Amino acid sequence: MAFFCSIFFSFVFDALDGWCARKFNQVSTFGSVLDKVVDRISTGCLLVILSKYTGKVSHKDVKDSSNWLFKAYYGNRMFMAYCCVAVEVLYIVLFLLAENQTESLMDVLMRTAKQSLLISSILALSFFGCAIKQIVNVIQMKTAADLCVLYDIDKKQKP
């Protein structure tokens, strides 16, 4: 239970930190990048800890998973690499295309769609890979939560 509460509060405080930064105009490029890096490190640490609960060597061990997307993602290194690179390419291309910091995502996408088929295609492919990666992240978190529950049930049943 302490583990679950720690993770929950970590997400809450991460969201609160971002909200406060925007509310009090304390936003910086460094802070934005640092937030993403810390999020990735936290997720990695969480996955390592949860994989130890199940006795697996890695969170990428999916041979007993029933989810086809999870198996496709971790079972094919090229597909996984495409999804990981797509996230970064999407961030970089959108950053380079934005004319200013206040331009909305939809404005950037609409302007780009009218100007360049090549860049629009790169964005579409990047968005697809990014979406797959985010779906896999949700599947991992759901699977990890289920495993934690099963671990706690098993622990309580043992005398």
- Of 65, 75, 72, 112, the closest CA to residue 93 belongs to 112
Asked if pLDDT for residue 78 goes beyond 90, the answer is: yes
Q: How confident is the model over 98-117, as pLDDT tens digits?
A: 888 788 888 888 888 899 89
Question: Annotated catalytic sites, by residue?
Answer: 39
Q: Which of the two residues, 58 and 65, has the higher pLDDT score?
A: 65
CA distances for 71 relative to 59, 62, 88, 89, angstroms: 12, 6, 22, 24
pLDDT of the residue at 132:
95
Domain extents in the chain: 1-57, 62-159
Q: How confident is the model over 86-101, as pLDDT tens digits?
A: 999 988 888 888 888 7
